[in-house]
Structure 1
Amino acid sequence: MFGVMAWIMPIFVGLSVFGGVNGLLFTSKRLFYVGAQEGHLPILFGMIHYKRCTPTPSLIFTCALSLVMLTTSDIYTLINYFSFIQWLWVGVAILGMMYLRWKKPDMSRPIKVSLAFPVSFFLCCVFLTVIPIYAQPVETGIGLLIVLSGVPVYLALIKNKKISPAVSSISAKITTELQKILEVMTPEKEE
């Protein structure tokens, strides 16, 4: 279709993928960082480098998880797991924002747009989660089980705070040593 310029399409696709990965790297490490700040992850992930003010432990953890994911032999299965879960949670977040807009209409919002935008985006998210369930039920089911496997861990360790003193002591020692190695600290809270 493009004739002599046929080489340009793979270049644009590559640039698009690079931009998407760049955005995911910037946001995913900060998700771990905020999760640790809220007490849902080990405190080490909520620490920042003392000079650069970057969440170094979260970045290293994200890198390690990415490298583990790359060990799969079937990249399409990995894409199915990741995209299904990503669009599922993006849809849940959009639904939550629409719910808050309905239940708390006077809440302060930095940006307020017509409801047509979030509703249409939510419908796209529903499409991107329902079609894979129909087309590849095994992969989406496994992806959902992987996500749901975190629920018992959350209930046992985070919500009930039932960590033994021995595990707490070992965790504190590991955190202290990693703080020294990575040169990280907990950020100062603004009051």
Structure 2
Amino acid sequence: MLSKTFGLTGFNTDNNVVDFLLNANRITVSLNVVASLTKFLQPDITLFIRNGYTGNEIIHRVVYHELAHASHWRIVGNTFWQRYINYIISYGITNPPYGDGMGVNAELCGVGEMWGNYFGAVIEREVYGRVPSFTGTWTWLDEDEDWYNPGFLRKADSIADISTAEVFSSIGASTQSFNTLIYQLQLRTNFDNLVQEKYDFYSDWP
């Protein structure tokens, strides 16, 4: 996504985005001063494994998370991602990597991270043949991580008439707040009250 996101943010070795990605994933992302000249030739995601950071399952988890972000980028586009990155640069420094959920575009970032964590876990479930159903306990997903609680999407996905594809269609470019996400999910089910109930399960939303 970084090679395709341009405008208000510049990617080079002096940029705070580098530190953010390192803190967020513990994996270094290759960024350099010629990025703006070669962005259309670059891969979307380049990962270099840090010394001592090994284990296929852990590395795969990071890859699935980042590919989930890539799927989100495809439906929200450049402007959404500019705001996403700028929130992290602005507010993630004092409370790395995602701030405290209170800054401008915080909930936009929260929607993105929620999807990255949740759908990354869905892929891991399929690849590794995890046994639990969508209503079971997913030990490989930190459901109440930080302030954006990715477990909310898993709980929404467990509602009888909501599919993972419908969850994905709920996080388009217009979904930049948690209230909008709730509304979009409620449009896709006959059980509106259950969506709100799943959201209210978590008490630490910003």
Q: Compute the TM-score of the two structures, normalised by the length of structure 2.
A: 0.29
**Bigger helix share:** 1
Q: Compute the TM-score of the two structures, normalised by the length of structure 1.
A: 0.31
Higher relative contact order, structure no. (Cα contacts within 8 Å, ≥ 6 residues apart)? 1
When Rg is computed on C-alpha atoms for both structures, the one with the higher figure is 1
